Amino acid sequence: MKNPIQRSAFDSEIAEAKRYIAAGDLGAGFAHLERAHVIGQSYIMPHVKSHWLMLQVELRRRRLAAVLGQLIRIVLGALGSAVGIVPIGNTGGTNISMFKRMPIETELQNIIDGRAPGEHARRCDS
pLDDT of residue 116: 81
Looking at residue 3, its amino acid is: N
CA distance 109 to 111: 5
Helix (H, G, I), strand (E, B) or coil at 25: coil
Position 56 pLDDT exceeds 60:
yes
For the segment 26-40, the average pLDDT, to the nearest whole number, is 98
Q: Which of 50, 54, 22 is nearest to 108 (CA)?
A: 50
Position 1 pLDDT exceeds 90:
no
pLDDT digits (tens, 9 = 90+) for 64-84: 999 999 999 999 999 999 999
Q: What does the buried/exposed string (b/e) look like for 87-119 if buried means 16 or more CB atoms within 10 Å of the residue's CB?
A: bebbbbbbeeebeeeeebeeebbbbbeebeeee
Position 122 pLDDT exceeds 60:
no
Which residue has better confidence, 71 or 123? 71
Position 118 pLDDT exceeds 70:
no
pLDDT of residue 38: 98
**C-alpha dihedral sign at 94, 100, 101, 106:** negative
Q: Which of 78, 68, 63 is nearest to 26 (CA)?
A: 63
pLDDT of residue 2: 82
Predicted TM-score (pTM) of the model is 0.91
Position 124 pLDDT exceeds 50:
no
**C-alpha dihedral sign at 113, 108, 25, 86:** negative
